[in-house]
Structures are given as C-alpha cells and as structure tokens.
Amino acid sequence: MFLSQYIDHTIKKIKSQVANILTIMNLSFGVCALLAVLRGEYQLSLLLIFIAALSDRFDGLVARKLSIESEFGKQLDSMCDIVSFGVAPALLTYQLVLFEYGAPGILFAIIYIICGAIRLSKFNITENNGYFTGLPITVAGIILTFSTLLVSVLPSYLFMYVIIGLALMMIGTFKLKKI
C-alpha cells in the first residue's frame, strides 16, 4: 500500500516537471553549443542549436498537453532561450565572420543579444493572445545559425545586415500567429 502511494506520488511529481526537464535540455544544448564554438567546432555548434530548438518546441507543447503550464516554466524557458537562441547564435556568427570587423562586429553581436533579451522580457509580461509580437527569439536564432552555412558563399558584410535585421525584427511591433 505504502509503496503504491509512493510510486503514484513520484509519477505525478515527474509528470509535473516533464516540460521543465525539456527546457533544461534546451539550456544544456545551448551551453554545449557555446562550448563547441569556443573549441572551434562550428558545425557541432550549429547542430546543438538546432537540437535546442527541438527541445524548446516540445517543452511548450508538453506543458499545454499535460496542463502543467506555470509562471515558473515561462520564466525558465526565457532564461534558457536567451542562451540557446541569443548568445549561442551570436557567438557562432561572431566567431565565423563578424570578428573581421573588430569592435563593430562585437557591437552587432551584443545588439542582437540585447534585442533578444528585450523580446523575451516583453513576452513574459504580456498575456497569451494567440499571437507573438515581433519575431520569436527561437526563430531568429535558427535563422542566424543557419545563415552561417552560407559564410563561404555570401560576402561577410551581409551578416551584419542579417544580425541587425533579426535583432530589429525581434523587438518589432508586428504580430505573428502562434503555431
């Protein structure tokens, strides 16, 4: 009897944390992507950012499906997203191409991260109305990350336009329907 109650309680506890576990996985992949950039393993970093995006996609779905959405989960998700889709893609892009421009390259990477943080902060204080205001940081991070596949094809100065364009789109006021 006691063991059965303990198992039921444990299962309920695990179920209540599944979405947060996926969110922590997002962060873990983002941190690993940063470490891969620091080691010069740029393709691995790209792959890890993509896997972080998959984890990020599923954490919200799981939370809604299991009815375990929480304010804590929302805040945790944003904290993890700034690493995985803000800092990691910016550092990857900086190391691959923006470093050529010295201080302006650093500034562009910082502006991207700042705009991502602003976008996440705005998201956390607004009501869920079925729309995103501005480009979600996950989308911006994936676009920026995958644009690095074109480093050998595109002129390097275009990446400054890409990173600034994405930064401005994140803090834009246009509406996008949530999928």
- Banded model confidence at residue 177, pLDDT cuts 50, 70, 90: confident
The reported pLDDT for the residue numbered 75 is: 93
Mean pLDDT of the chain: 92
The reported pLDDT for the residue numbered 2 is: 67
Q: Give the dihedral of Cα atoms 116, 168, 111, 163; nearest 10 deg.
A: 100
- Banded model confidence at residue 54, pLDDT cuts 50, 70, 90: very high
The reported pLDDT for the residue numbered 1 is: 57
Record the tokens describing residue 60, joined without a space.
């919200």
What predicted TM-score, i.e. pTM, was given to this entire model?
0.91
Residue-wise pLDDT for 66-117, tens only, equals 888 888 989 999 999 999 999 999 999 999 999 999 999 999 999 999 999 9
The pLDDT of 134-161, averaged and rounded, is 97
List, in sequence order, every residue forming a beta bridge with 132; answer none if it has no partner: 176
Residues 117-125: contacts with CB under 8 Å, at least 24 apart: 117/82, 117/86, 118/170, 118/171, 119/170, 119/171, 120/78, 120/81, 120/82, 121/78, 122/171, 123/78, 124/74, 124/75, 124/78
- Contact indicator for 52, 30 with CB cutoff of 8 Å: yes
Residue-wise pLDDT for 114-130, tens only, equals 999 999 999 989 877 78
Q: In which domain, by residue range, is 107 found?
A: 2-177
Domain CATH number, residue 16: 1.20.120.1760
- SS3 category, 179: coil
Q: How many domains does the chain have?
A: 1
What is the C-alpha to C-alpha distance for residues 35 and 146, in angstroms, rounded to an integer?
A: 18
pLDDT at 3 over 80: no
Residue-wise pLDDT for 24-45, tens only, equals 999 999 999 999 999 999 999 9
